[in-house]
Amino acid sequence: MFTDSRSKKVIFVANCILNQNNKFDGTANYPGAVTEIMEVLKNSDTGIVQMPCPEFICLGLDRGFDGKHEQTLIEENSKIRMLMKREPAYTKMKELVHYTMTQILEYKKHSFTIKGIVGVNRSPTCGVETTSKDNEEISGEGVFIEELSNELKKNSITLDIIGIKAFEPETAISRVKKLIFNN
């Protein structure tokens, strides 16, 4: 099975790396995709699995922003994190984790190599090494990555999970290359 030209290698990538249009107002660093990361992925012979954007699906594009008062990025991220932990957003997010795990398990079942998962540091949902909480950028995972990590553990699956920041392209490129080519 699968004797065609496919590499049988995939990488899971946070939605906003491939689509900056899903980010809330004032946070996109690119008009479309994070071009430097797309270039690395394109040249890696690795299939790209775009994970769902939990914030967009659960809270909408405006993330519930009322427009009545200005908030800093960290304050807005902290608010989003709080909203994602409330119903009905939390239940919807858990469904997105299940959807992502279904894909991971299917690739594993057919002996594909999953190079890893690329999240976005500082994100309230997809942060890996850092997230936003209580109006600060802190060490820790965003709520989606945390739930996904828990499901990976429950299924005895070990994957490398890294976080990048689009506004630090050199560091992001280096980290993604290391994930793809040293794994």
Range of the domain at 31: 14-181
- Report pLDDT for 26: 79
Record the pTM. Answer: 0.94
Q: Residue range 110-133: average pLDDT?
A: 97
In a domain, 176, yes or no: yes
In a domain, 62, yes or no: yes
In a domain, 1, yes or no: no
In a domain, 150, yes or no: yes
In a domain, 3, yes or no: no
Q: What are the tens digits of pLDDT across the range 150-183? A: 999 999 999 999 999 999 999 999 999 999 998 6
In a domain, 44, yes or no: yes
SS3 per residue for the chain:
CCCCCCCCEEEEECHHHHCHHHCCCCCCCCCCCCHHHHHHHHCCCCEEEECCCHHHHHHCCCCCCCCCCCCCHHHHHHHHHHHHCCCCHHHHHHHHHHHHHHHHHHHHHCCCEEEEEEEECCCCCCCCCEEEECCEEEECCCHHHHHHHHHHHHCCCCCCEEEECCCCHHHHHHHHHHHHHCC
Q: What are the tens digits of pLDDT across the range 20-70? A: 999 988 788 999 999 999 999 999 999 999 999 999 999 999 876 665 556
Number of domains in the chain: 1
Kindly report the average pLDDT of the chain as a whole number.
94
In a domain, 8, yes or no: no
- Report pLDDT for 66: 60
In a domain, 4, yes or no: no
